[in-house]
Amino acid sequence: MHVAEREKLIIAALQGTGFVSYRDLEARIEASPATIRRDLARLDARGEIVRVRGGAKIPEDEHMGEPSHLTGTPFADALTLNTSAKATIGEAAAKLCRPRDGLMIDGGTTTFQMCPFLDGLQLQVLTNSLPIVEALLKQDGTRVLVPSGTVFREQNIILAPAGEESMPRFHAPRLFMGAGAIGLHGIMQADAIHVASQRRFLERAEEVIVLADSSKFVKSSGTIVCGLDNVDVILTDSGIDDDMAAAVRAAGVDLQIV
């Protein structure tokens, strides 16, 4: 692929959210990682992009701030969907926590269902979810940490500016996170800014546990957060298709139907 074509693809990938990760560029562009990094260095030198940790972003004067909302169903609406399955998954996830654990919980309506079952465990929790923060603050002995970033009101979540580091220096035995969709390619989200946030969580976790009701396996589209080989456990309900369940297990994931 010619250099001009690669540069056009890089610029196009930045539109919308203003940020693109190295991993996404490697999936989009037929070139070696070293070639892509040289392309980014050249664009950065011309002032067309700004290289940041993990990828590149549009210069500030061309991209003022982050999007005001995320793609997807607002938190309040999503909370009313598949409520029974989500509650069961949340309870099962909480049983994987040990007293005085340090853990990370990514925002979402299924991970939110863990909260009532964490009381009394004396946990230290890093989360970007405002509803989870509110629920855990009512529990004596649960210590809550939050990252800095922009509050997205409809999803009630705090996400860092694209490409910027905002997480506390925190490492945890377990990360509990949701998914926009799950397919054989991995865990997906619709918004690149959410993808970047989840990847920062992934870097700090020893074990990755995904909470997703069976509807998330029906449609597999979006930006890939990570491959199934990066996931240790998926908790879901009995509505998952048998073929999909077999494929997930064949990928080495401990799929638990609860």
Chain segment 202-223, per-residue pLDDT in tens: 988 999 999 999 999 976 567 7
Statement to judge: residues 196 and 106 lie in one domain? yes
Is residue 39 within 8 Å of residue 10, measured between CB atoms? yes
Considering the domain architecture, whether residues 141 and 190 belong to the same structural domain is answered as: yes
Asked whether 126 and 173 are in contact (CB, 8 A), the reply is no
132 falls in which pLDDT band (50, 70, 90)? very high
Do 81 and 153 reside in the same domain of the chain? yes
* Residue of 70, 102, 105, 79 whose CA lies nearest to 195: 70
Which CATH number does the domain housing residue 215 bear? 3.40.50.1360
Query: pLDDT, tens digit, for every residue of 167-202?
Result: 667 788 999 999 989 998 899 887 777 787 888 889
If asked whether residues 41 and 81 sit together in one domain, one would say no
Q: Kindly state the percentage of the chain with pLDDT values over 70.
A: 89
- On whether both 163 and 253 belong to a single domain, the answer is yes
Residues 34 and 101 in one domain: no
Residue 67 lies in a domain: no
pTM of the model: 0.72
- CB 225, CB 195: distance < 8 Å: yes
